[in-house]
Structure 1
Amino acid sequence: MTRPAVRGGIREAAGGIVALSLATFVAITTELVPIGLLPLISTDLDVTESVAGLLVTAYALMVAALAVPLTLGTRRLPRKGLLLTTLGIYTLSNVLVAVAPTFAVVAAARALGGASHAVFFSVSIGYASRLVRPHLTGRALALVTSGASAGFVLGVPLSTALGAAVGWRASFAVLAGVCAVTTLLIAWLLPPVPGGGAPPADAARSARRAALAVVVTTNALTYLGQYTVYTYVSVLLLAAGLTESALGPALLVLGALGLVGTAFAAARLDHRPRRTTVVMLVAVGGGLLGLGLVFPGLVGVLVATAVWSAGFGGVASVFQSAAIKAHGASPDMTGALVNTTANLGIGGGAAVGALVLAGAGLDAVPFVGAGMILAALVVVLLARRAFPALTDASHSVPTAGQGTQDA
């Protein structure tokens, strides 16, 4: 019988962190792969680009609706086995999309992937926090989140380039194979961890829960602003004069800049969490505002998108870390709430972007997204309890022995 991992430093937890990063890579690629393929999907299945964008919305809404109930329903199952199951479902979802004859079947297959995603990120966020000592939570989450950045850097751009070369269905077929191989690697690399870990029901419980509520609400607002624009980034780049053949390489370079934000967050998040969060949001909001101001000039659009992409690279880890360190619920339930609110933002952003695209027009989309990021930044600046300036090393996430019920 394999013994559960014992919390230690980053080096001791390296195998598990790499495994979770790989799993996050395939998860985020599966979620976002339609973004670069929207023009191809819409043409092949005879739907508008705004309707094709609903593939992102439907997926995200499944996650938002199911993350909390599925996390509660599976809280007694072994964490590693549950994570492997979600990866298997990702594989099946991508296979079904690759062979789907109609848009309706594609949407149904994506909904299946969304149900898996509802469990995956809820579990993986809590999983990462259990691999290391509490004062290293931010760095561990940032390293795991590098898998998401790799999804932007490699997964989405390479899928886009492959789709442009040989068809969008081939992109989903190849992704299904990558998911299957990754599942085997995770089974080998990832150590098991115990479940549970809810914080005690003491006098500070209400304050902790309030702080957690502020963090996850701000998380939703940030993702709403991000995906109002990012869902249609391929449309924006093409409208600015980028050729279809250059779209994949451009997304590759822009996605690589997300690793800059990830590295910045990993280096600073456990020591200066508030300042790190502010810097990330300023970069995202400033990049989106700049994008709106310079559109449709291609050089300006690429520069503004580069700033935006670099900033967003650190966003996931800053909100995950702030939520875990609020100690308002167990790690898995905290992960479920972060997962739910992020995907409310992703799905809502795709829908808002579609409405703006159909109404005010493409050039208005970046301004709407920038406004939402600005609102999130204001909340961070005002909510000092939820986003503290310094990490309090005396606080720690309770272990399984200190509480076993999800809050």
Structure 2
Amino acid sequence: MPFALYPLALAVFAMGTSEFMLAGLLPGLAPDLGVTVATAGLLTPAFAVGMIVGAPLVAVLARALPRRACLLASVLVFGAAHAVGALTASFAVLCATRVVAALAHAGFLALALPAAAVLVPPDRTGRALAVLLAGTTVATVAGVPGGAALGALYGWRTVFWGLAALCVPVALGVLTGVPAGRGAVGGSALRVEAAVLRRPPLLLAMLLGALVNAATFASFTYLAPVVTGPAGLGERWVAVALMLFGAGSFAGVTLAGRFSDRRPGLLLAITGPALLFGWPALALAAGVPAVLLPLVCVQGALSFALGSTLITRVLYEAGGAPTLAGACATTALNVGAAAGPLLAAPSLTTPAGPRGPLWTSTFLIALALLVAHRSRPLPTGGDTAPEGAPTR
């Protein structure tokens, strides 16, 4: 894999850590800023909104600009937002910095996904994306638990400073490793790209990607109540469960990287039904830690294998829309990430209790499979990339 992929993956690691880290920092952050934990929790949807808005906005604004300069600007804005957040004593200012950081994160992903695709031959796009998305999975394995531990020892501001500092080697890597080509991947007219974005296969891939990601984050967000509730384990086991899920997700994107280019149909056919079986199995086994913890790892692997394969399909199907291809993939991911927890939250107050989000995930995966069954299937692929795949 080209060297340039690795600073991009490091940036995705830093940004993924930032996106998910607040769950472990809110107890210390809220009293420091003079707000309740519930109020501090608004920082999470603020970030999600910035992600959803930022991807298409930055992709369109940056289409005529050098790719490397836009990626570099996104990294520097992201780092600056965290530095300001570490310094402020105002919750309103911190909230604003989270929106700015999310805009930078979304813009970076919207540019980095197609940039990764053009760094490799068309038949290795899936592997390139696996390297890139591995940054997110490593964030769940190491970044989020590490950030929580660092925040507990030295305060939440230290975590913000750490992420700002991490942007320095990322910026140097982008500056020295990423080609300076124009736009996300090129420069076709926006009206032509808009026509591409109306293609049913692309819309289907985006919808399925959003549904699968919603199912993933519906349960991932509320994994802690399952661990401390039905499983009867102590709070320290929450970090263990999150790390197991993250380890599984890393394995999942690695698997998708090997097969999503050549055998996407087979990967979708296996992982989709397996997830439909796995989420209710996890709900039913929630009271048995010896079963719960391995299943958490398996579900992480299946979820990210399926999700990253669908995102690869989005990039392939949006190959004729080089400016907006990455924005489509990023939007699909983040609509799902934002919708999943919102849909799962009410289930916590039902008789299912902490198991409710797991049943919500079951419903979302069932809906995704039903949509896929009633629609024309996604291209099953072969030994070559589909027509319209991103090229140099």
User: What TM bracket, shorter-length normalisation?
Assistant: 0.7 to 0.9
Change (3 A) 1:108 1:390: same
* 3-state SS, counterpart of residue 314 of structure 1: helix
Distance in 2 separating the partners of 1:94 and 1:212:
35
2:49 is matched with 61
2:219 is matched with 229
**2:66 is equivalent to residue 78 of structure 1:** yes
* 3-state SS, counterpart of residue 4 of structure 2: helix
Change (3 A) 1:281 1:174: farther
Letter in 2 for 1:146: A
2:15 is matched with 27
Change (3 A) 1:197 1:312: farther
Letter in 1 for 2:213: Y
* 3-state SS, counterpart of residue 313 of structure 1: helix
Distance in 2 separating the partners of 1:161 and 1:287:
30
Distance in 2 separating the partners of 1:207 and 1:126:
15
2:283 maps to which of 288, 292, 317: 292
Letter in 2 for 1:243: G
2:165 is matched with 177
1:148 is matched with 136
1:319 is matched with 310
* 3-state SS, counterpart of residue 331 of structure 1: coil
1:147-166 pair list within 5 angstroms: 147-166=135-154
Letter in 2 for 1:218: L
**Which sits farther off after the overlay, 98-107 or 128-137?**
98-107
Deviation at 1:75, TM superposition (A): 0.8
2:208 is matched with 218
Distance in 1 separating the partners of 2:35 and 2:189:
48
1:56–1:346 CA contact under 8 A, matched in 2 = no
Distance in 2 separating the partners of 1:37 and 1:235:
17
Distance in 2 separating the partners of 1:206 and 1:97:
39
**Which sits farther off after the overlay, 221-230 or 96-105?**
96-105
Deviation at 1:69, TM superposition (A): 2.7
**Which sits farther off after the overlay, 339-348 or 387-396?**
387-396
Change (3 A) 1:166 1:241: farther
**2:112 is equivalent to residue 124 of structure 1:** yes
1:377 is matched with 369
Distance in 1 separating the partners of 2:90 and 2:199:
44
Q: Note the residue ranges of structure 2 that are not aligned, 5 or more in a row.
A: none
2:345 is matched with 354
1:364 is matched with 356
Deviation at 1:284, TM superposition (A): 4.1
Distance in 2 separating the partners of 1:142 and 1:375:
26
Q: Give the TM-score normalised by structure 1.
A: 0.84
1:225–1:349 CA contact under 8 A, matched in 2 = yes
Q: Note the residue ranges of structure 1 that are not aligned, 5 or more in a row.
A: 1-9, 401-407
Deviation at 1:333, TM superposition (A): 0.5
Change (3 A) 1:348 1:106: farther
1:63–1:118 CA contact under 8 A, matched in 2 = yes
CA RMSD of aligned residues (A): 3.0
Distance in 2 separating the partners of 1:298 and 1:168:
31
Deviation per CA, 1:44-67: give whole Å up to 9, x if none.
Answer: 667666655443222112221232
Deviation at 1:213, TM superposition (A): 0.9
1:304 is matched with 295
Deviation at 1:216, TM superposition (A): 0.7
Distance in 2 separating the partners of 1:88 and 1:224:
29
1:197–1:397 CA contact under 8 A, matched in 2 = no
Deviation at 1:381, TM superposition (A): 4.1
Deviation at 1:327, TM superposition (A): 3.8
2:175 maps to which of 171, 187, 198: 187
Change (3 A) 1:132 1:297: same
Change (3 A) 1:305 1:53: farther
Distance in 2 separating the partners of 1:185 and 1:399:
23
2:137–2:249 CA contact under 8 A, matched in 1 = yes
Letter in 2 for 1:149: T
1:59–1:113 CA contact under 8 A, matched in 2 = yes
2:378 is matched with 386
Q: Give the TM-score normalised by structure 2.
A: 0.87
Distance in 2 separating the partners of 1:289 and 1:65:
33
Distance in 2 separating the partners of 1:173 and 1:244:
26
Change (3 A) 1:385 1:369: closer
1:275–1:389 CA contact under 8 A, matched in 2 = no
Deviation at 1:358, TM superposition (A): 5.0
